[in-house]
A and B are shown apart, each in its own frame.
Chain A
Amino acid sequence: MQTDWTPVALSHDIPVASAAPGRIGDTALAIWRSASGRIAAWSDRCPHRGMRLSHGYVRGERLSCIYHGWSYGEDGGCKRIPAHPDLTPPESIRVPVFACREASGVVWVAEGQPAGAPPDLAGFRGLRSLHIAAATGAIAEVFGGDGPVLRVKLGPVAVIALVQAFGDETMLHLMAPESCDLATLDALSDAAEALRRNIEAEATA
């Protein structure tokens, strides 16, 4: 499946009014959701003194840096510098913003101008994201295939694994069929954890 979009997180891991770290390629991301539910992915670095914005706090439709409270609106532009409360920050102070969409419970991010919409994974929902300390090759071996969107079996259940490859580390965003009941989801989550341990054990063996 060819797409300009990269899966960076599962929607349910970014609750309303929160921020979390992510990655696209070599770029660290701050993925955050505003009070009204709008999702965004920005460069994870406050332009002031380089603090990670993923450690920041959300108030209303703004993300603020935890270090000095510089706050940024939805376009990434700086709206307020608390140390200089009378200053209207210029348009030019801004955090780089990435294209970001949610589809089927996945947060997708693209660099530049993406063509088309993120992949349609109708019938599935986010299960959990797994950080695996092993190269993507080791994962492809277990799953018997490679690529960014894998349809694989976890135990008896057909799931989707969205793969982010980072050299000797891999991020897996697993999706389960929407029809799964809670007990099955719990079992899948345990199976995913076991999978991670196995892959890491294989990789270090």
Chain B
Amino acid sequence: MQVTEEFVLEGKLGSADLSPWLLRHAGKLGLAIALRVQTDERLEMTLSGAPDLLDAMEMGCLLGPYDIWVDSVARIRSGCRNGG
């Protein structure tokens, strides 16, 4: 099963390292990723892939590069398709 979810990260996110870090980590998990909104306190992105791998992406985001701090990761499922 492949699902698409909106991830909303909140915290102290003001680091140039964050978006390349997220792209690389999503790539390692084989997830499709689109970064949409990024401020110093909030980051929104769309991720697609297997549910266990989206969970793994959340684990990665909770730690992230050392110079950021994620208070929370909110996830909203926006799409789902079987197979693939």
Contact B52 A93 (CB under 8 A): no
Q: Among the listed stretches B3-11, B12-20, B23-31, B60-68, which one makes contact with chain A, having 4 or more residues with CB under 8 Å of it?
A: B23-31
Whether, in the assembled complex, A144 has its beta carbon less than 8 Å from a beta carbon of chain B, the answer is no
Whether, in the assembled complex, A88 has its beta carbon less than 8 Å from a beta carbon of chain B, the answer is yes
Contacts of A84 in B (CB 8 A): 52
Chain A interface, >50% SS class: loop
Contact B29 A86 (CB under 8 A): no
Q: Count the A residues whose beta carbon is within 8 Å of the partner chain — how many?
A: 10
Distance between Cα atoms of A84 and B50 in the complex (Å):
12
Chain B interface, >50% SS class: mixed
B53 to chain A, nearest CB (A): 6
Contacts of B31 in A (CB 8 A): 90
Q: Which of B27, B28, B52 contacts A87 (CB 8 A)?
A: B52
Contact B30 A87 (CB under 8 A): no
Contacts of B30 in A (CB 8 A): 90-93
A137 to chain B, nearest CB (A): 40
Contact B53 A90 (CB under 8 A): yes
Contact B52 A92 (CB under 8 A): no
Contact A86 B28 (CB under 8 A): no
Q: Count the B residues whose beta carbon is within 8 Å of the partner chain — how many?
A: 9
Contact B27 A92 (CB under 8 A): yes
Contacts of A47 in B (CB 8 A): 28
Distance between Cα atoms of A3 and B30 in the complex (Å):
36
Contact B29 A87 (CB under 8 A): no
Contacts of A91 in B (CB 8 A): 30
B31 to chain A, nearest CB (A): 8
B31: nearest residue on chain A (CB-CB)?
A90
Contacts of A90 in B (CB 8 A): 29-31, 49-50, 53
B20 to chain A, nearest CB (A): 16
Distance between Cα atoms of A87 and B30 in the complex (Å):
13
Contacts of A81 in B (CB 8 A): 52
A19 to chain B, nearest CB (A): 24
A28 to chain B, nearest CB (A): 20
Contact B49 A86 (CB under 8 A): no
Contacts of B50 in A (CB 8 A): 87-88, 90
1/0 per residue, CB under 8 A from B, across A88-130: the answer is: 1011110000000000000000000000000000000000000
Q: What are 16 A-B contacts with C-beta separation under 8 Å?
A: A47-B28, A84-B52, A87-B52, A87-B53, A88-B50, A90-B29, A90-B31, A90-B49, A90-B50, A90-B53, A91-B30, A92-B27, A92-B29, A93-B28, A93-B29, A93-B30
B-to-A contact residues, CB < 8 Å:
27-31, 49-50, 52-53
Query: In the complex, given contacts A90-B31, A90-B53, A93-B30, what are 10 additional A-B residue pairs having Cβ atoms less than 8 angstroms apart?
Result: A84-B52, A87-B50, A87-B52, A90-B30, A90-B49, A91-B30, A92-B28, A92-B29, A92-B30, A93-B28
